[in-house]
Amino acid sequence: MIFRCFYTGILFVFVLQWSNALPISKITTHSIELTPCELCNLLLPIAKDLIAQNESSLMEKLGIILCQYLHLADDAVCAGMINEYNYVLIEILRYSPLSTYEICGVAFDCLRQADIPALQWNVTLPPPTQLLFSSSYVSSKHLSSKYILSILHLADLHIDLEYKPGSNANCGRPLCCRDGIPKSSELGAEFWGDYRTCDLPLWTAESMLKYIVQNEEQIDFIYFTGDIAPHDVWQQTQDKDLEEISFTTRLLKQTFPNKKIYPCVGNHEAAPPDLFPTDNISWLYSNLASQWIDQFGLDEQTRDTILKGGYYTTIILPKFRLISLNMNYCTENNYWLFINSTDPLGQLQWLIQWLQYAEEHQEKVHIIGHHPPRMCMVSFSWAYYSIVNRYQNTISGQFFAHTHFDEFMLFYNETDSKQPISIAYITPSFTTYPNINPVAVLDHRTMILNLTATNLYNTTKFIKEYSAKSAYSMKDLSPQEWNKFVLQLENDIDGETMGLVYQYFMKSSATGEACDRICRMKLINCNLKTARAQDTTFCFEI
């Protein structure tokens, strides 16, 4: 999800990428039309000069004035966002080795990161060892029933405790359905949730979780891949985030008292959201370590790396290891990486060490994280892709979130783009934000809460949306079968099956736009077949 909200300080605009709440592509002032990147390149040097002259205190006040003058957001959002991010952006402009042109290019995605030397790095991979298994995927027909596991994958809950039925659902802020009176021509926020710019009411989330407990008795354990706080990004504080984390942890523990829950860190767990420094964030990690160990039941041995950077590894079953990554250290939305993006906290090198250990001890590994790797900075993304290639026989599952859509990503052999080697699942969101039905993913069966019917009949209406194997007539869910399915879609791009794929991608939302041929081609080539950032192997200019 990408918010487009501008941070400014004396004619300085800095894009913060959150969602489609403010999809600004150009700014027009006095008949001069500029793209955000052009405006950034024009104004960023002025901001740097102010910092050099110790006049940075002016930036917050002048930034708010300019934000309001350009109508980039309402007064409260302008003041809140700039107040939250002022210190961080000043520090980044003061210490980043990147030039003005490079900072703007990365922030606005108008410059290839491969052309920026300071962002280029790689990891060292050990040579392969003798393997017991030749493939990372083991079909269920080769396993006895006691080894077939059912995993509940939850992500992007974004429960809004301030949701108010009947309030303004089209308020112009990054999050609505909290206050205000709707226009006379518009309906107010509906009781069970709303397709507009709103997160999920608590009672709807509780009903969804209750449905899972009552109808899915075979869940063995749960992956919770992050994002707790609602999208009120202009008013996030450390205390508020910690309260929301504690509340959601208790809710999940009370709902699933006898299930192990394996979490990872979402971008909304930080305050301000997205910004994860490599130090001075103990306020978050010490809290997560306590809650994940005390409430979710993680092993005590996970504490050290959780305290260091919000990541860990643990054994789920004999010969079955989980690695939970903090993918917030991979994305350009984490502007601290503009100072140093080289394998922050040594997390990828740590990942390699544990995959090497798993390979040598003949363990299979699942990897969970919040951001999908194609949404990472280029060097991190391509290094991760190389790691998956190297340990394809050890990694048997990858699970991500963040996009709010129902997707999968294929990984291919780095030297043979026709050979699939791994598959990653991107689970859809619990929240309706933006304009989609909330869901819970069980194995790869997807249930949706039909929000239209729920509000109409004033009771929650759940629907089994689809099962991947039966809907797509697949023998199994191996990378090879997924690749075969994608090739079928390419050969019948206008067919009904491709229409189903888009429908499920959008979680059967009735509010989404139709997907034409170009839209379908982009979904295949830029989503399903692309797992590396700025990779044009498949995602060419359409």
Annotated binding site for Zn(2+): 156, 158, 227, 267, 370, 402, 404
What whole-number distance in Å separates Cα of residue 339 and Cα of residue 119? Answer: 10
Q: Is the peptide bond before 257 cis (omega within 30 degrees of 0)?
A: no
Residue 535, CA distances (Å) to 272, 375, 378, 397 in order = 30, 11, 9, 22
Q: What DSSP string runs through 348-402?
A: HHHHHHHHHHHHHTT-EEEEE-SS-GGGS-HHHHHHHHHHHHHTTTTEEEEEE-S
Query: Binding site: what residues are annotated?
Result: 156, 158, 227, 267, 370, 402, 404
CB 29 within 8 A of CB 43: no
Helix (H) or strand (E) holding 75: helix 75-95
Buried b (16+ CB within 10 A) or exposed e, 172-203: ebbbbbbebebeeeeebbbebbbbbbbbbbee
| Separation between Cα atoms, residue 453 and residue 400, nearest integer Å | 29
Query: In a 10 Å sphere around its CB, with 0-12 CB exposed, 13-18 middle and 19+ buried, how is residue 298 labelled?
Result: buried
Name the strand (E) or helix (H) holding 316: strand 312-317
Distances (CA, A) of 139 to 143, 147, 418, 442: 7, 11, 21, 18
- Measured between alpha carbons, how far apart are the two ends of the chain, in Å? 22
Maximum Cα interatomic distance, the chain, rounded to a whole number of Å: 71
As given in the structure block, the two tokens for residue 457 are 């009949």
CB 485 within 8 A of CB 472: yes
What is the spatial distance between Cα 128 and Cα 390, in angstroms, rounded to a whole number?
7
- The pair of three-digit structure tokens given for residue 421, joined into one six-digit string: 């080697």
Pairing label, strands 151-154, 439-442: antiparallel
Q: How far apart are CA 281 and CA 271, in angstroms?
A: 10
Closest among 233, 309, 235, 295 to 262, alpha carbons compared: 295
